[in-house]
């Protein structure tokens, strides 16, 4: 049996007609709402001054004034969804209420069954408005070359599993260096899943000051802190029914990590200053450029949160490990940039492709996109040769391990053994992390693995 959309919400009912007030209150309470009933505008002002409400159903014409006066005087915080009731012929009053901020109106007599539908519709509009405040730019299509075949297969399996589920969707954890495209992957998962029509709310955790992070993520009630002049829903609540993307997740403080874990496990959250929990169903997609296991060992990340998130894990390889895909991606980005600037695309010359492949791309896809745009705007066709990348790559490779005055011994020496020794030094410096050692050496992880395998075979 499906849960009522009114379950767990607090609701103010303003109606002076006793029988109608009792009938509506009984229905709303059967649907799971916590109802406060008042019979006049004065009592409504008192209730609004003392309590926070998720929704309100108010009549227009009352003994001591008009319900629309409460809207005009901004007695309702932005988080309260207001539905206006009006008698036949009183539509002009309802229109006045809509202009003052009401979400919808009902003409008496009406069936109480209409209330859950109207409130749910109004709540979705409110969520979408809040989500839009934090929505970033337009989504870019992912370019899946051969190097991302495994990632694409993973994503297809995740979205296929999502469509078979009828309830809460499990979290997804995306790992990758800065600039590898974690945000694009998160958007792809949302856009191709069963919640594509719902809100995708994105939050860069590293951009939130610690003092504001809890209120931004979970919302707050009026008066919860000094500047909380009105209640406000948080980003997790704004993503209810959709997805919440938490980029740079380890930036959240440990106490906030604990509260996030509770929200994920209980499917509910508690706004700052609230005395009760609010049900929420937001699919969590988290991203990190750090090794969460290492952070757990250092006491900087909660182990229980890692275990809760680490169900569907997607790892994005750095650009330097993507081989010929670098050129494919560069050509795709070049086409997009040229279309944006109204220019005709020019092919990347052979020298430019070679330099793109030779460069290590510490900034990954983001750096590549910036290089392409700079080349189009400032360099034109000549800029696509990327001559400056050759100098940058040479600077990194110009470090010499050979002592001045070195001479090869007459008996010769083992080149293979020296390479293995250098790889061993890199692994030692990287604490045994193959990916980190590969970055130090400027090679792919496969090269390091090959050397490790060869070493074992030679023992």
Among 240-244, 383-387, 448-452, the least confident range: 448-452
* CA pair distance 181, 287, nearest whole angstrom: 10
Q: Which residue has the higher pLDDT, 184 or 380?
A: 184
Q: How confident is the model at residue 140 (pLDDT cuts 50, 70, 90)?
A: very low
* CA pair distance 84, 33, nearest whole angstrom: 18
Q: What is the pLDDT of residues 365-378, one digit of tens each?
A: 989 999 999 988 88
Give the global pTM: 0.62
pLDDT for 187? 92
Upper half-sphere CA count for residue 202 (Cβ side, 13 Å): 17
pLDDT for 391? 58
> Could you tell me the two tokens for 373?
């745009």
Burial 330-356 (b: 16+ CB within 10 A, else e): bbbbbeebbeeeeeeeeebeeebbbbb
Q: How confident is the model at residue 18 (pLDDT cuts 50, 70, 90)?
A: very high
**Mean pLDDT, to the nearest integer, of 213-223?**
85
Element at 445 (helix H, strand E): helix 445-458
pLDDT for 416? 78
Strand boundaries in 96-190, DSSP class E: 104-107, 172-175
Q: How confident is the model at residue 32 (pLDDT cuts 50, 70, 90)?
A: confident
Instruction: Tell which residue, 122, 22, 17, 26, has the closest CA to residue 61.
Output: 17
Q: Does the pLDDT of residue 350 top 80, yes or no?
A: yes
Q: How confident is the model at residue 419 (pLDDT cuts 50, 70, 90)?
A: confident
pLDDT for 64? 92
Q: What is the pLDDT of residues 316-331, one digit of tens each?
A: 999 988 888 899 999 9
Distance of CA 350 to the CA centre of its chain: 39
Q: What is the pLDDT of residues 123-132, one digit of tens each?
A: 777 666 665 5
pLDDT for 248? 93
Q: Does the pLDDT of residue 396 top 50, yes or no?
A: no
Instruction: Tell which residue, 190, 195, 196, 194, has the closest CA to residue 245.
Output: 190
Burial 34-66 (b: 16+ CB within 10 A, else e): ebbbbbbbebbbebbeeebbbbbbbbbebeeeb
pLDDT for 49? 87
pLDDT for 437? 82
pLDDT for 56? 93
């Amino acid at each position: 049996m499906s849960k009522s959309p009114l379950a767990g919400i607090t609701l103010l009912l303003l109606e002076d007609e006793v029988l109608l007030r009792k009938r509506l209150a009984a229905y709303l309470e059967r649907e799971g709402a916590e109802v406060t009933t008042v019979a006049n505008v004065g009592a409504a002002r008192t209730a609004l001054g003392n309590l926070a409400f998720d929704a309100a159903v108010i009549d227009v014409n009352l003994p001591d004034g008009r319900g629309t006066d409460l809207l005009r005087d901004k007695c309702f915080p932005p988080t309260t969804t207001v539905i206006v009731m009006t008698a036949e012929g009183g539509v002009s009053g309802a229109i006045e209420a809509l202009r003052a901020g009401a979400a919808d109106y009902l003409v008496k007599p009406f069936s109480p069954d209409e209330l859950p539908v109207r409130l749910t519709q109004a709540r979705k509009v409110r969520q979408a408005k809040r989500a839009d405040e934090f929505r970033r730019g337009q989504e870019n299509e992912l370019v899946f070359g051969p190097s991302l075949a495994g990632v694409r297969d993973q994503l297809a399996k995740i979205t296929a599993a999502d469509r078979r589920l009828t309830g809460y969707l499990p979290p997804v954890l995306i790992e990758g260096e800065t600039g590898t495209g974690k945000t694009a992957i998160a958007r792809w998962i949302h856009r191709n899943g069963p919640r594509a029509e719902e809100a995708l709310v994105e939050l860069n955790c590293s951009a939130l000051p610690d003092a504001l992070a809890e209120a931004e993520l979970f919302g707050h009630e009026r008066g919860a802190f000094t500047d909380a002049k009105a209640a406000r829903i948080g980003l997790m609540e704004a993503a209810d029914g959709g997805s919440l993307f938490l980029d740079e997740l380890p930036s959240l403080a440990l106490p906030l990590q604990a509260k996030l874990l509770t929200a994920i496990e209980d499917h509910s959250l508690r706004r700052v200053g609230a005395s009760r929990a609010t049900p929420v169903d937001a699919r969590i997609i988290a991203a990190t450029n750090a090794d969460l296991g290492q952070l757990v060992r250092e006491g900087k990340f909660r182990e229980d949160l890692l275990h809760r998130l680490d169900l569907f894990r997607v790892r994005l390889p750095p650009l330097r490990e993507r081989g010929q895909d670098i050129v494919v991606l560069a050509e795709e980005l070049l086409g997009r940039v040229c279309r944006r600037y109204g220019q005709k695309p020019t092919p990347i010359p052979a020298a430019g492709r070679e330099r793109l492949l030779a460069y290590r791309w510490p900034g990954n896809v983001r750096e590549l996109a910036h290089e392409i745009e700079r080349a189009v705007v400032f360099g034109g066709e000549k800029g696509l040769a990327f001559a400056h990348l050759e100098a940058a790559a040479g600077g990194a490779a110009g470090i010499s391990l050979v002592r001045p005055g070195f001479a090869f011994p007459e008996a010769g020496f083992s080149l293979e053994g020296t390479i293995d020794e250098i790889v061993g030094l890199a692994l030692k410096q990287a604490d045994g992390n193959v990916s980190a050692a590969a970055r130090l050496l400027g090679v792919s992880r496969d090269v390091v693995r090959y050397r490790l395998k060869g070493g074992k075979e030679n023992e």
